[in-house]
Amino acid sequence: MCSGSFFALFFTILFLLKIFLKQRLTMKKNYNKLIAITVFIGIVVLANYNLSSLADQSRPHGNQNHIPELTRNNYLMGYLNENRSSYEISFYDINIDFNVQKKSIDGFVKIKAKSIRNLKKLQIDLAKNLNVKKITHKNKNLKFSREEDAIIVDFVKPIKKDNFFEFTVYYNGVPQNADNPPWAGGFTWSKDKENRDWIAVSCEGEGARIWWPNKDHITAETDSVRMAYTVPSDMVAIGNGKLRSVKDNGNKSTYEWFVNNPINNYNVSVQIGNYVAVQDTFIKGDDIHLMNHYVLDYNEELASNYFPMSKEVIRFYEKYFGDYQWYEDGYKLVEVPYLGMEHQSAVTYGNGFSIYNGVRSKSWPMYGVMDPLIIHETGHEWFGNSVTASDPTHIWIHEGLQVYSEAIYFEDKFNSYEVGVHYLNTIKNRITNNIPIVGNENENHWALHGDTYMKGAWVMHTLRSVINDDKIWFKILEEFMIENAKSFVNTKDFFDKVNDKTGVDYWYFAEQYFYSALQPELEYYQTETEFFYRWKNVNNNFIMPIDLLVNNKELRVNPTQDFNSLKIKKHTQVEVMDWKFYVKKIEKK
C-alpha cells in the first residue's frame, strides 16, 4: 500500500469514530461493538501498511539511500554455496498452465544439469509463496527441504562428477504481483482497451524464481530453453526465441517457444493477450533475418509504421559494439502493459508508440528521432544480455554503459559531440551520490538505483575525457563487448581492458567513481596573476587530470589535494570544463 492510501484510510477511520461519538446516545447498545470493529479495521490497515513496507525493504534492488541489508534469503540467492556450485545448468524445459481468472499457475520444469563434482544434494530456487508438489529423478520422488526461496534436493544416490543428469520440479500457486513494473516486478494482470485480459511478467532483481524453479543466480545461464505456455484458447502466449508450435487443447492452447542460446533467467518471459504478429525483415549483407513483433490486435497498423526504427538501433549497436548475438533466436518487440524490459530476443515495449508523448518520452530527450524505450531495451541485447555482470552489484555494466551508449547514438546520429553532451546534461540532475555504484558481491544486491544508470553514464563520459583519445576509447568499448560476448564480467574486468589499451593504471578512477559515493570537487579561486586549484572530497590516491579553458584555450592540469597554481594575466577568463568531467566546481571566496 502506498503512503497516500494509508493516510486516506486512516482519516476515514477517524471520520467514522467522530460519527460514532456524535451518535453515542442513540447507539448506546452498539457503541462498544462499533468501536471494536473500527479499531480492528485500523489494526488491519496498519498491519497491511507495515507488511507492504517490509516487502518493499526486502527487495534486492536497494534504493537511492542505502544498500539493502544482507538477509538470509539474499545470502541464499547471492552466494554460490556448495549446493549451487556443485552443478551447472544445461537446459530448462518450462511447462506452465495459466489460470487467468485465479491469477495462478500450475506447471513443471525439467532441469538438465552437469555435476561439477560428486554431489548428493543441490539447491534449486523457487519463491517460498509457491507450492512444490513434488520433485522427481528417474521416475522416483526425491526428498527436499525449504528455507526461504531455497530448495535443497536430496538425491537417492550420489551423482558422480562430470555426469549429466535430469530432475523435474512440479509446482503451483499464485505468483507475486508487480507493484511497480519493471522496477518492482512480478506479474502484471491488466486489461487492454477492449477490457480483455492482458498479462506480462517482469522480474529483474526479484529473480525468475518468483514464477518458475531455477538456479537463480545471474551467472547460471543455461545453454537453451524450451517454454510451453498453456493459456485460454482466445489468447496468445508470447515467449523468447522462435515459435515452434501451437497445440489446440479445446478451451486452451499451448504455445511452444524455444531459445537456442544462453539466456539470463530473468530474461525468460511470458506475455499473454490478444496478440497479432507484425512481420518485418532485417537485411545484413546477404542475410535476411525475419523480425516478428507482437502487439495487441488493434495496434497492428500503428506498430507496422512505428517499429521499423528498431532496425536503425540494431545497426548502430553493431557498428560500435559488435554483432547482434541472437539472430538464431530472432529479434522482436512485444507490446506489454508496463514500460518495458530487455527480455532477450523478445524485448518488451510499453511506451505508447510515441517519440514525443510516450511514458518515458516525457523525461528523456530524443530529439525527435528515436523512441527512448526501443533504444534503451534493445541496447541491452548487448549490455546485459550478451555481456553480463558476474554479480548484480556490477550491474552498471548493463545500465550505466547502456545509458552512455545512448549519448553515443545521438553523437553519431547528428555527427555532433555536443548533442551527446547535451543528452548527458539532461540526466545529470538525477544523480544523488548517496551510495556507491558498486556494493558487496555475493549478497544478491541488484544495484538498480538511479546512480547506476545516470552516474554510470557520466563516469564513462568522464573516463573518455580523461583518456583523451577517441580512437583508443571506442576501441576499448568495442573490444570489451566483442571479447566478452555471451560471458560474465565485473568492474575489474572492464578496467583491465582500459589499462591494457591505454598503458595507464586507472584503478584509482574506479575506486573513486564506482566504490565511493563521493563526487570529486575541484576547489578553485583566482587572483589577478594566478589561478589556484585542488581536489577535495576524493580518495587519497585520486590523481585524475582535468581540463580548463583559459581565455578559451584548452589546458590540461593535474590537481592534487594541495593547492596548485597557474600563472595568468589580469582579467583572464578560466572555466572548469565540467561538461566533460563528472566533478563539482567549488569556488573559494
Q: Cα dist. 369→37, 366, 410, 413 in Å?
A: 59, 6, 9, 9
Q: Where are the beta strands (DSSP E) in 100-149?
A: 104-115, 119-125, 131-137, 140-141, 143-147
Q: What is the pLDDT of residue 28?
A: 42
- Which CATH code fits 81-273? 2.60.40.1730
Q: Cα dist. 106→102, 146, 168, 186, 275 in Å?
A: 11, 19, 14, 16, 23
SS3 state at 447:
coil
Nearest-angstrom CA–CA distance, 381 and 317: 9
Burial of 485 (0-12, 13-18, 19+ CB in 10 A): middle
C-alpha cell at 229: 505456455
95, 109 Cβ separation under 8 angstroms: yes
Overall pTM surpassing 0.85 (yes/no): yes
To which residue does cell 468501536 refer? 35
Q: What amino acid is encoded at 398 in this protein?
A: H
Q: What is the pLDDT of residue 63?
A: 60
C-alpha cell at 22: 456524535
Q: Say whether domain 390-513 belongs to CATH 1.10.390.10.
A: yes
Q: What is the pLDDT of residue 64?
A: 62
* Residue 525: how many other CB atoms lie within 10 Å: 14
Of 29, 26, 5, the C-alpha closest to 13 is 5
To which residue does cell 573559494 refer? 588
Strands 333-335 and 340-341, by their bridges, are: unpaired
Burial of 285 (0-12, 13-18, 19+ CB in 10 A): exposed
pLDDT averaged per 10 residues in sequence order, the chain, 589 residues:
39 45 44 47 41 40 71 96 98 98 98 98 98 97 98 97 98 97 95 98 97 98 98 98 96 98 98 98 95 97 98 98 98 98 98 92 88 97 98 98 98 98 96 96 94 98 98 98 98 98 98 98 97 98 98 98 97 97 95
pLDDT tens column, 255-309: 999 999 999 999 999 999 999 999 999 999 999 999 999 999 999 999 999 999 9
Map out the domains of the chain as residue ranges.
3-58, 81-273, 390-513, 521-587
DSSP state of 208: G
Axis-axis angle for helices 450-467, 396-414 (nearest 10): 60
Element (H, E) at 388: strand 387-389
Q: What is the pLDDT of residue 363?
A: 81
CA 400 to chain centre: 11
